[in-house]
Structures are given as C-alpha cells and as structure tokens.
C-alpha cells in the first residue's frame, strides 16, 4: 500500500524513537542510547564535514564523542550531554566510548562506509 503525505507526516515515529541500554562497567552502570531524528543526524554529519578554517585533517576529531553526545540519553530519552561536553568526553577512555558509539551507530543506521565517506569528503 502506498502511503500518502498525510499518513507519513502524521506517523508517530518521532515520538517512539527507539532506546537501547548499553552496559558501561568502566563508568559504573549503563547508558541509554537513542535513535536520532533525520534532522539531528544531518546536523551531526554536517558538523563532521564542515569546519571554519578549511582544515580537512580535523574533521573526524572526536567523531565517537560527538556521536555519543548526540545519542546518549536517560531512560526517558532526554539528552545526557551538550556539545560543550564533546572535548571532555573525547578525553575519556576509548573502550567505553567505542562501546556506546557502536550501539548508537547500529541504532542509527550509520555504517562504517558512511563514517569513511564522511572522513573522505
């Protein structure tokens, strides 16, 4: 069945974005990760491909921390972090950040190819 414009725009998907719990023993508990909206993912990707000084070498700096900041939330789906936390979070141990990033990556349909493309373009 083909969907109409009204059916698509009134679908409740934005209010039911999935959450997934990630155990992070290094941090002493668990973190929830949420699915991003299309606009949130676009903003994240845009922040990775654009920079103010034109230096391509730093585009992927803290990509995992950026994605964790965008997707980490409490059990209600409210964000845990702000963009101001990216640097501090990026300085934490890589293993737990990578674990949370990997779940956020899968939950949001961001493939390794997508990450490589962002780094190259």
Of the candidates 72, 2, 61, the one whose C-alpha atom is nearest the C-alpha of residue 34 is 72
- In-domain check, residue 7: no
What burial class does residue 49 get, using C-beta atoms within 10 Å of its C-beta: 0-12 exposed, 13-18 middle, 19+ buried? middle
- In-domain check, residue 6: no
The boundaries of the domain holding residue 43 are 19-120
- In-domain check, residue 5: no
> How many domains does the chain contain in total?
1
Question: Model-level pTM?
Answer: 0.79
pLDDT one digit per residue (tens) for the chain, 121 residues: 898 999 988 887 766 678 999 999 999 999 999 999 888 888 888 877 765 565 555 667 889 999 999 999 999 989 999 999 999 999 999 999 999 999 999 999 887 676 666 656 5
Give SS3 for 21: strand
- In-domain check, residue 68: yes
Is 71 within 8 Å of 109 (Cβ atoms)?
no
Give SS3 for 93: coil
> Each residue of 48-63: pLDDT tens digit?
776 556 555 566 788 9
Rounded alpha-carbon distances, angstroms, from residue 48 to 7, 24, 36, 62: 33, 26, 16, 9
- In-domain check, residue 4: no
């Amino acid at each position: 069945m083909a969907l109409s414009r009204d059916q698509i725009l009134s679908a409740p998907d934005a209010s039911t974005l999935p959450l997934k719990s990630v155990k992070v023993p290094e941090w002493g508990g668990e973190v929830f990760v949420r699915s991003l909206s299309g606009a949130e993912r676009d903003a994240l990707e845009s922040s990775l491909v654009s920079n103010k000084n034109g230096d391509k070498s730093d585009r992927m700096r803290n990509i995992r921390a950026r994605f964790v900041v965008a997707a980490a939330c409490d059990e209600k789906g409210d964000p845990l972090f702000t963009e101001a936390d990216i640097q501090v979070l990026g300085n934490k141990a890589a293993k737990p950040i990578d674990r949370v990033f990997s779940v956020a990556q899968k939950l949001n349909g961001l493939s390794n190819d997508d990450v490589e493309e962002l780094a190259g373009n």
